[in-house]
A and B are shown apart, each in its own frame.
Chain A
């Protein structure tokens, strides 16, 4: 960076945040009081006889989702604080992490008072929408707090962060474990050497990720992370899964998403399958010999999966499946489908659904479904390329009772729900990877591009985008890692996992947008990888629970508590 950029390094030096941690703690505890107040307001609006009243809940959807976002910010901030605190304790924190913490607190605290963008066009304003009183936020005006909040908004903090980024130093991940650090290191290398140099070409040519790359990933153990050791996996848990997923997604979203399929099918079978089903499939999923695909969505049922209409009709010891599925990622080059279908036509809702393990011959681009009764076509997409999406018609597909997951009817939706926590955490990690790639691409561009006689990284408006990308990537990474650790400790974390997915997907999109802006016109050229990252980032707000549905899940959890 140009040393002529006017920043007062003394301000940055003088402010030793490690001495102000108690003030941050106070801010957090004040916000938790406010949270309790909002919650009790909302409960009085939506809860009748200890239950969420569906009609009232729907009438108050906007403000309820607003509270879900408020809580997402609050909890994420709390874990960003813990991240920094832990780094201080282990002696690993540097000035960069301090600056990131300062910026995070200032920006999020003020947004939690003045307005949070739930989407590009919907702002929740706690003072207006959530029945709060300005005096609730008086703590932000106390001398100590105000000083801290103002500090986090200064040009010094912003340029301070960018100065570190410019020198190649990114905020510490805070993995707190030597093995995880080694995993991160290896997958970073793998991604830098084997994924990033090819990702954009795969995207532009709209090709499947090559079989050889798949094989390399399988050899590294990507598909075996979550499979228990007794079934040939590594039984490593979600934190390791997050570390691997973030790195691979930083290179190419589809690379980080290959593991998602193994994760979904693996979890379905691990949690819901019979011993025979586990023995039959888990070891092969772990080695990558079997590639799986998740077959849930239908043309008329997306978010409202419970009402799907594909039928599995019993015929002797067999079931005959008929129906139309759509948006099936990696539908062709896969060997095993997990199909959600209705076994009980008298039950219109989720209770009538069952999950089937349907084997299929592996197809390719020319002949996607080489199987009788199965046909379909590719859905062309903006981004998220590398696996391809398909619509698939299932016409009298016969499976046996042994292919019914757990050999129990009516459990399909429940079995799927049990995997949601993991899937959300994994998707949040994918989003963090995409967010990081947007930051890295635009950082490089801002150093290479000069206008008005200097590299554009030196302009305040470019620096604020870069610094904020680094800050928000860190915040979303910390809530993601927190959920993963809870899950690894067998602690229920559905709410936090939902928050992580909600926030990380938003951050991926906002980073991609800022990063493209930094590229100027070149960002709009297909030739530049940021154009791909923008398209890739957009999907994260849609699948694995669209942002609105994710907020709905979070708020239901919060009000139910």
Chain B
């Protein structure tokens, strides 16, 4: 079985985000970037499947600037076999990413596509679902457990009020949730091995896709600063404010 894992390079979750002064986006220059944490979980799941001899090959794909190769390399250091880098300097929206991934899926013919349920930068939570629609693969989102049973995958998802288990036929697309696993640290030997693994680079323009944007960002703003609290005299004043000012009651 072959697994395709999609990983996105995002601003590291430890970095305090700064909005650009012209409000066109956030400051990315000289900011530490890492693999989207949900995608790390996807890589870990794939590596586990390989260790359990469910999968034979793991291919990591990332779309973006040249620097994405570093992100792919961390996936390889965790245990993936090879990488594909789709080179693009544009900020691509989820539908376009899905279209590009669809091309990779056509070429690679994976049995399972794993990716994070969302990326921590734009929190879109769309790519997996869109790719499922484009490919017609079965899909399970927000996976917290994946088990192989005969030729199917049982995927447990966390939903409001409990757990839901889906039985998927292959090929399928699974998006990962936080509780699925704890990604490993890449050990020094594996980091060294990753240096020898192959990363193919493909320029996005050679794919022959219409990637014109359908969304435009009007403005990016900092969240409003927290204001100092006030003291209320009594319960009545509190109720009055909750009802009329905060409008939460």
Contacts and interface: CB of A to CB of B under 8 A. Distances in A.
Interface of A: 92, 94, 96, 167-169, 178-179, 181-183, 185-187, 189-190, 219-222, 224-225, 234, 236, 240, 244
B192 interface: yes
Interface in B177-216: 185-189, 191-192, 194-195
Interface stretch (B45-53, B70-78, B161-169): B70-78
Given A178-B70, A182-B74, A234 B30 contact: no
B228 to A, nearest CB: 12
9 contacts: A168-B14, A178-B73, A179-B191, A179-B192, A179-B195, A186-B186, A225-B188, A236-B188, A236-B192
A277 to B, nearest CB: 24
Contacts of A183: 188, 191
A190 B185 contact: yes
Contacts of A167: 16, 18
A19 B192 CA distance: 38
B29 A240 contact: no
B159 interface: no
The 10 closest A-B pairs by CB, nearest first: A221-B188, A94-B30, A220-B187, A168-B16, A167-B16, A186-B186, A186-B185, A190-B185, A221-B187, A221-B189
A198 B15 CA distance: 24
Nearest to A178: B70
Contacts of A92: 30
Nearest to A168: B16
B135 interface: no
Contacts of B30: 92, 94, 96, 169
A179 B196 CA distance: 11
Given A189-B185, A220-B185, A234-B188, A182 B70 contact: yes
A224 B188 contact: yes
A225 B191 CA distance: 12
Contacts of A190: 185
Interface string B219-238: 00000000000000000000
A169 B15 CA distance: 8
B14 A182 contact: no
Contacts of B195: 179
Contact of A94 (B18, B29, B192): B29
A168 B15 contact: yes
A452 to B, nearest CB: 17
A187 B189 CA distance: 13
A183 B14 CA distance: 18
Contacts of A219: 187
Contacts of A168: 14-16
A221 B18 CA distance: 37
A214 to B, nearest CB: 15
A236 B195 CA distance: 13
Contacts of A189: 185
Given A94-B29, A168-B16, A185 B192 contact: no
A182 B192 contact: no
A246 to B, nearest CB: 15
B201 to A, nearest CB: 15
A182 B77 contact: yes
A542 to B, nearest CB: 30
A221 B194 CA distance: 15
A225 B30 CA distance: 30
B126 interface: no
Given A169-B31, A186-B186, 17 more contacts: A94-B30, A169-B15, A179-B192, A179-B195, A182-B74, A182-B77, A182-B186, A183-B188, A185-B34, A185-B74, A190-B185, A220-B187, A220-B188, A221-B189, A222-B188, A234-B189, A240-B188
A178 B68 CA distance: 12
Which one of B16, B30, B74, B192 has the greatest number of beta carbons of chain A within 10 Å?
B30
Contacts of A222: 188
Nearest to B78: A186
A182 B193 CA distance: 13
Contacts of B70: 178, 181-182
A354 B74 CA distance: 45
B170 to A, nearest CB: 32
Nearest to A194: B185
Contacts of B189: 221, 224, 234
A224 B194 CA distance: 17
A92 B18 CA distance: 18
Interface string B36-79: 00000000000000000000000000000000001001100100
Contacts of B31: 169
Contacts of A181: 70
Contacts of B29: 94
A178 to B, nearest CB: 6
Contacts of A244: 188
A238 B21 CA distance: 42
Interface string B20-33: 00000000011100
Interface in B59-110: 70, 73-74, 77
A219 B185 CA distance: 10
A131 B59 CA distance: 67
A237 to B, nearest CB: 11
Contacts of A187: 185
A219 B188 CA distance: 9
Contact of B191 (A96, A169, A182, A224): A182
A289 to B, nearest CB: 16
A186 B16 contact: no
Contacts of A178: 70, 73
Contacts of B194: 182
Contacts of B185: 186-187, 189-190, 220
B199 to A, nearest CB: 12
Nearest to B76: A182
Nearest to B77: A182
Nearest to B30: A94
A325 B170 CA distance: 66
Contacts of B188: 183, 220-222, 224-225, 234, 236, 240, 244
Nearest to A96: B30
A20 B70 CA distance: 33
A179 B194 CA distance: 9
A242 to B, nearest CB: 13
Contacts of A225: 188
B75 to A, nearest CB: 11
A186 B14 contact: no
B119 to A, nearest CB: 18
Contacts of B74: 182, 185
Interface string B101-136: 000000000000000000000000000000000000
Nearest to A193: B185
B229 to A, nearest CB: 15
A179 to B, nearest CB: 6
Nearest to B192: A234
A470 to B, nearest CB: 15
B95 to A, nearest CB: 31
Contacts of B77: 182, 186
B73 to A, nearest CB: 7
Contacts of B15: 168-169
B187 to A, nearest CB: 5
A92 B70 CA distance: 15
